[in-house]
Structure formats: structure tokens, C-alpha cells
């Protein structure tokens, strides 16, 4: 699913209005009816107090139109206009008149006015600002926003939480609505997925308001949300007459005294994701543990007992995953540098491999094209330097990817894979996966996919998705706290099977008809 920017949404509005021969007000009405149906289905006429706060633009217009529908269905509402500007939009004014025609008189909120009391059990509809926000709200609007956040009431935001910009960082965190639920029109917004802005949208849902699908499909976007629809075409099916040689040979290089488990996890994950053969390259102390724990995996040992000192081998792996548990000893660093002089295979580099690259940035130039780097935030900072905010981070990551021709997997709650000018946002995974060894599993997963012939970018995006999905499936048995890296590996098979499950049944007809009435 694509993430559109504000200009693309405005243009899609215009295009749709022209093509479907409707007025902009009719489009607003569609949006408002969708929100009304959502609320009505859940509230079934309950007399909980609903406080609507509407701006003077089209986000406010959505709120005014919603107020009319709520009133007509007997809901207990108060309507407030947050009068932050004289420049009211045409469709806001039309909907204000329609409210007045029905004898509903909104309270007009201005600087220095008193705000109405809101109970903890009430509901707030936030339609103050939408995608048109272009500067930080005034201090009195900020105070109102704080008043709403402090009320403890359930906040439903229209399109996005008021105070979040579509394309830049928040300047004053006090001036942002903390939404319990966001009903976003047509497509999700990138800001729901970035840590600094995502915290303002506890939950979100997309409402289809019928913008022209062909027009939207033709738009180029910098970011997209990854789900089954994006990945099914990427999946490489298993051929009946194939053999293990068709599925590649993954070599996992890493480990040091006390950290052999990292290689064990990565190798096991590479096997579970379907690599034909897997070999682990470890210091001598890793030989017995890996041979004992993983009968399917072959082992090559370094000349040293405790640290890797010389990366040479006489096998021809399809792909190499390097760095997990490896340490940053001087000898390891030198061995890594001379290994990069001759390596031709595709590479996945994680953990201490990344730390070594950060220490000697010249090594980045020696990487095979489209090497996949999988940094967590601290490792990323060492690689690309400090960033000001999430948007700056993405900009720097793109520049870094272009400069060195690498694929960056920015690990986080919503991992984003960046290649050149594009970002692929993941939507699987859960906080239980913030656990030791989870990253080692991801390295194994991506390496194992590359071994099977997936293109590097596909392997990275698909690997991140499957790793997260396996974590979600494992969570059902373990809960957040007891989720371990080994449990993620065990669920990889189910993550593949889940890829081909049909989506859940739609809501039965009677129920959806009720919502329209
Ligand atoms: N296809 C869709 O998705 C559809 C979208 N629809 C809805 O339209 C919404 C976008 O509406 P919108 O363009 O009127 O902008 P909105 O956010 O209401 O802001 C209003 C104005 O406020 C101003 N302003 C900005 N910052 C400010 C500040 N700090 N303090 C004071 N003023 C400030 C700025 O005007 P300016 O003063 O800069 O000229 C801005 O224009 C969208 O989110 C969705 O809810 C649906 O109706 C139908 C289909
Ligand atoms: K809003």
C-alpha cells in the first residue's frame, strides 16, 4: 500500500471530483458518512456525551458533517468550532449552515475563552487540523489540545491526530492530540509508522472514500507499506523436481567466546527459511556447540580458539551473512578487511560487522553491490551519524544507501528497508521481539532467502516481514515476556503458511445494513 503525501492526496481529490462528476462537498459527505457508520456500528445509539472539536478547514468540515449525522440519529453531542483563522473553507461553511438549519449552534472557541468540561467517560472527536497543518498551532489552541489530552476521554481523530505534520517533525509536542483511534481517509499515513509521530496514533484504520483507484495506482511514492499483497508476487515456489542444490548455500560468519549462540540462531534461522545448505564459520570454541545443537548445519572453524582471525574457506557459498556475535577485536577487524578484498558473493552484515564498518568507513567501498546492512538505531547512528528527527533519519539513510549502493534495514517497531530513494515499511512484529537474539534470527532469515535466489531488496523486505509474522504467531503461545529468539525460528514455517491464508470473512450483510440506517 502506498503512502501518499499531502499534494498527492489533494490532486487525487481533484481528479476524483472531476472524473466522478461530484462536488467537493459530496466527497466530504462520503468521508463524514464513513466516520458516522464506524461510530454508529460501535455505539448503537448509546447516550455517551460526544464532544466534537472542528477546525475551520476541510478537516473541520468533516467534523461538522459528522455532527449533523450524529444529531439526526439522536446522539448526545456538543459542537465546538476552534476558530483559529478567518479563512474558513467553502465546504466547512456549507456544513456549518446545514447544522444551523437543523438548529444546532456550535460554540465558537477563541483565544482566552473557557473550555467546556469533559468527563473521562465522554468521547472527543478531533477534527481540528488534518493534512493542511503547515505551522505549529497558536498557544491558545495548544492549551485546548492539552485540555483534551488531559481529559482522559476517548479521542477519535479524523484523518490524523491534529498537530502532526504530514512531512516534517513535530515542533511542540504539547500541541498534538494523543488519539486513541484514528480514522484515516483512503490510505494510511507514513507518520503512523515513525516512532516520534506514531505515538500520537494509538490505533488507526483506513476508510475508503472512493478516490479514483486507477489514479492512485499510477502515483509514484517514496514509501510503501508492506503486506501480503506486495509479497505474494515475490514468493518463489518450490519446484517438484528440485534438489537442495537449487536452494543455495548460506554461510554464516561470526561468533566469539561466549557468543556462539548468535551464530547458532542465525544458522538455524537460515535453515528454517529454506536455504538448501548452511555452514557456520566460527572460532574453534564454537565447533562442538554448533555441531551438537544443529545437526543440519556444517561447521568450519577459524585458526583461533576464541576470536575470528582469518576468514578463509574452500567452499563456494551462494551468500554470506556476517557479524553476529563476532566481536570487534583488532585481529577480527583485519581479517574482515582482507575478506572484503576478495569477496564476490552477496552479503548480509549485522551487529559487530556493522561496528567494524563504522570504525573504518573505507571498508564500505569494498562491499559487494546491494549488500544488506541490518542496523538497530545505535548501530545506524554509528554508520550514518546523528539525525535531528525521524524525517532527517530517513533522508540520511537514503543518501547513505545511494552513496555506497547498500540496502539498509532500519530495525525498529516498524522496520523500514531503505534502498536508494525508496522505503518499505514493515507492519508485522511486536514488542515481545525486543529480546536477545531476535536480530541474529533476522540475519539468518535474510541470508537464507538470498541463498534461494531472492533479489537482495526482495530478500530484505520479505525477510523482515516473515521474521515479524513468525514473532506474531509465536506470541500467541508465549505472550510478550516469554517470547524468545528460538520461538521466532520455530514459527517461521507457520509464517510461510500464513502468507497463503485467505483474508478474514467480511462483516455479514445484515450488520453492515444496520450501520447504514
Ligand atoms: N481525499 C481526502 O483525504 C479528503 C480529505 N478531506 C479532509 O480535508 C482535510 C484537509 O483539509 P484542509 O486542506 O482544508 O486543511 P486542514 O487540515 O483542515 O487545515 C485548515 C487550514 O488551516 C490553516 N492552518 C494550517 N496550520 C495552521 C495553524 N497552525 N494555525 C492556524 N491555521 C493553520 C491552513 O490554511 P492557511 O492558513 O495556511 O491558508 C489550512 O488550510 C483532510 O485532512 C481531511 O480531513 C475530506 O473532507 C474529503 C476528502
Ligand atoms: K484531526
Cell numbers placing 208? 475508503
Instruction: Give the C-alpha separation, 89 to 127, whole Å.
Output: 14
**Band of the pLDDT at 515, cuts 50, 70, 90?**
very low
pLDDT in tens, 329-365: 999 999 999 999 999 999 999 999 999 999 999 999 9
Q: Which pLDDT score, from 0 to 100, does residue 21 have?
A: 96
**Band of the pLDDT at 502, cuts 50, 70, 90?**
confident
Helices (H), 180-285: 195-198, 213-217, 228-231, 260-272
Which amino acids bring their CB within 6 angstroms of ligand 1?
9, 13, 27-28, 31, 55, 57-62, 84-85, 87, 89, 129-137, 158-159, 185-186, 209, 211
Q: Which atom of ligand 1 is nearest to the CA of 56?
A: 20
Q: Which pLDDT score, from 0 to 100, does residue 510 have?
A: 56
Ligand 1, atom 3, lies closest to the CA of 185
Rg of the chain over Cα atoms, rounded to whole angstroms, equals 27
Phi and psi for 114 in degrees, rounded to 5? -80, 145
Q: Which pLDDT score, from 0 to 100, does residue 246 have?
A: 87
pLDDT in tens, 449-472: 999 999 999 999 999 999 999 999
Q: How far is CA 61 from CA 398, 447, 515, in A?
A: 37, 51, 22
Q: Which pLDDT score, from 0 to 100, does residue 509 have?
A: 53
pLDDT in tens, 21-30: 999 999 999 9
Contact 8, 219 (CB under 8 A): yes
Q: Is the pLDDT of residue 274 over 60?
A: yes
Ligand 1, atom 47, lies closest to the CA of 28
**Band of the pLDDT at 244, cuts 50, 70, 90?**
confident
Q: Which pLDDT score, from 0 to 100, does residue 109 have?
A: 97
Q: Is the pLDDT of residue 506 over 80?
A: no
Ligand 1, atom 28, lies closest to the CA of 137
DSSP state of 53: E
Would you say domain 231-235+246-499 falls under CATH 3.40.1190.20?
A: yes
pLDDT in tens, 300-336: 999 999 999 999 999 999 999 999 999 999 999 999 9
Ligand 2 midpoint to CA 208 (Å)? 17
Instruction: Give the C-alpha separation, 419 to 490, whole Å.
Output: 30
Instruction: Give the C-alpha separation, 447 to 342, whole Å.
Output: 19
Report the residue among 130, 164, 179, 207 best suited for mutation to probe ligand 1: largest number of ligand atoms under 8 A from its CB: 130
Contact 282, 263 (CB under 8 A): yes
Ranges of each domain in the chain: 6-220, 231-235+246-499
Q: What is the mean pLDDT of residues 485-502?
A: 96
Q: Which fold has domain 6-220?
A: Rossmann fold (3.40.50)
pLDDT in tens, 226-236: 999 999 999 99
Q: Which atom of ligand 1 is nearest to the CA of 211?
A: 1
Ligand nearest to the CA of 127: 2
Cβ contacts of 109 within 8 Å, gap of 6 or more: 53, 80, 81, 82, 83, 115, 144
Ligand 1 midpoint to CA 28 (Å)? 12
Per DSSP, the three-state class of 156 is: strand
Where does residue 445 fall: left (phi above 0), alpha (psi -120 to 50 degrees), or beta otherwise? alpha
* Residue 132: Cβ within 10 Å count: 15
Q: How far is CA 70 from CA 52, 67, 118, 185, 440, in A?
A: 10, 5, 18, 19, 52
Q: What is the mean pLDDT of residues 130-151?
A: 98
Ligand nearest to the CA of 83: 1
Q: Is the pLDDT of residue 511 over 90?
A: no
- How buried is 316 (Cβ within 10 angstroms: 0-12 exposed, 13-18 middle, 19+ buried)? exposed
Q: Which pLDDT score, from 0 to 100, does residue 252 have?
A: 98
Ligand nearest to the CA of 208: 1
Q: What is the mean pLDDT of residues 62-72?
A: 98
Which amino acids are annotated as binding site for AMP, given as ranges?
Answer: 411-415, 439
Domain 6-220 shares a fold with domain 231-235+246-499: no
Percent of the chain with pLDDT over 70: 97
Amino acid at each position: 500500500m502506498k503512502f501518499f503525501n499531502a499534494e498527492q492526496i489533494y490532486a487525487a481529490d481533484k481528479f476524483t471530483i472531476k472524473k466522478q462528476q461530484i462536488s467537493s462537498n459530496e466527497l466530504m459527505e462520503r468521508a463524514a458518512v464513513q466516520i458516522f457508520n464506524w461510530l454508529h456500528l460501535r455505539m448503537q445509539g448509546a447516550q455517551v456525551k460526544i464532544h466534537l472539536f472542528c477546525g475551520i478547514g476541510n478537516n473541520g468540515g468533516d467534523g461538522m458533517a459528522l455532527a449533523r449525522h450524529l444529531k439526526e440519529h439522536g446522539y448526545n453531542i456538543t459542537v465546538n468550532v476552534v476558530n483559529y483563522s478567518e479563512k474558513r473553507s467553502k465546504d466547512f461553511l456549507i456544513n456549518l449552515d446545514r447544522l444551523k438549519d437543523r438548529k444546532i449552534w456550535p460554540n465558537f472557541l477563541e483565544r482566552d475563552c473557557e473550555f467546556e468540561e469533559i468527563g473521562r467517560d465522554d468521547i472527543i472527536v478531533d477534527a481540528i487540523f488534518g493534512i493542511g497543518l503547515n505551522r505549529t498551532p497558536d498557544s491558545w489552541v495548544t492549551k485546548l489540545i492539552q485540555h483534551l489530552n488531559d481529559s482522559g476521554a476517548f479521542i477519535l481523530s479524523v484523518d490524523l491526530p491534529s498537530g502532526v505534520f504530514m512531512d516534517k517533525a513535530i515542533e511542540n509536542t504539547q500541541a498534538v492530540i494523543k488519539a486513541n483511534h484514528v480514522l484515516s481517509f483512503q490510505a494510511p499515513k507514513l507518520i503512523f509508522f515513525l516512532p516520534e509521530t506514531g505515538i500520537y496514533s494509538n490505533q488507526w484504520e483506513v476508510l475508503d472514500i472512493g478516490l479514483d483507484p486507477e489514479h492512485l495506482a499510477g502515483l509514484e511514492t517514496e514509501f510503501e507499506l508492506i503486506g501480503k499483497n506486495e509479497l505474494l508476487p515475490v514468493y518463489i515456489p518450490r519446484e517438484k523436481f528440485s534438489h537442495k542444490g537449487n536452494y543455495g548455500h548460506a554461510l554464516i560468519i561470526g561468533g566469539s567466546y561466549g557468543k556462539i549462540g548468535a551464530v547458532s540462531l542465525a544458522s538455524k534461522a537460515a535453515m528454517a527459511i529454506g536455504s538448501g545448505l548452511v555452514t557456520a564459520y566460527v572460532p574453534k570454541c564454537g565447533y562442538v556447540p554448533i555441531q551438537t545443537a544443529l545437526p543440519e548445519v556444517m561447521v568450519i572453524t577459524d585458526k583461533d580458539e576464541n576470536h575470528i582471525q582469518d576468514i578463509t574457506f574452500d567452499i563456494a557459498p551462494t551468500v554470506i551473512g556476517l557479524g553476529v556475535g563476532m566481536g570487534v577485536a583488532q585481529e577480527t577487524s583485519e581479517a574482515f578487511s582482507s575478506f572484503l578484498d576478495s569477496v564476490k558473493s552477496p552479503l548480509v552484515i549485522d551487529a559487530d560487522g556493522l561496528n567494524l564498518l563504522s570504525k573504518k568507513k573505507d571498508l564500505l567501498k569494498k562491499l559487494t553491490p546491494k549488500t544488506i546492512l541490518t542496523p538497530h538505531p545505535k548501530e545506524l547512528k554509528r554508520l550514518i551519524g546523528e539525525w535531528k528527527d525521524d524525517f532527517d533519519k530517513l533522508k540520511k539513510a537514503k543518501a547513505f544507501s545511494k552513496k555506497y549502493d547498500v540496502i539498509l534495514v532500519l530495525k525498529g517497531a516498524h522496520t523500514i528497508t531503505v534502498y536508494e530513494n525508496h522505503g518499505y515499511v514493515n507492519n508485522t512484529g511486536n514488542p515481545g521481539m525486543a529480546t536477545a537474539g531476535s536480530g541474529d534470527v533476522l540475519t539468518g532469515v535474510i541470508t537464507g532467502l538470498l541463498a534461494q535466489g531472492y533479489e537482495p531488496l526482495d530478500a530484505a523486505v520479505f525477510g523482515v516481514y516473515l521474521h515479524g509474522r513468525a514473532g506474531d504467531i509465536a506470541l500467541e503461545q508465549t505472550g510478550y515476556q516469554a517470547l524468545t529468539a528460538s520461538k521466532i525460528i520455530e514459527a517461521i514455517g507457520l509464517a510461510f503458511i500464513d502468507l497463503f491464508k485467505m483474508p478474514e470473512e467480511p462483516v455479514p450483510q445484515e450488520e453492515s445494513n444496520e450501520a447504514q440506517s
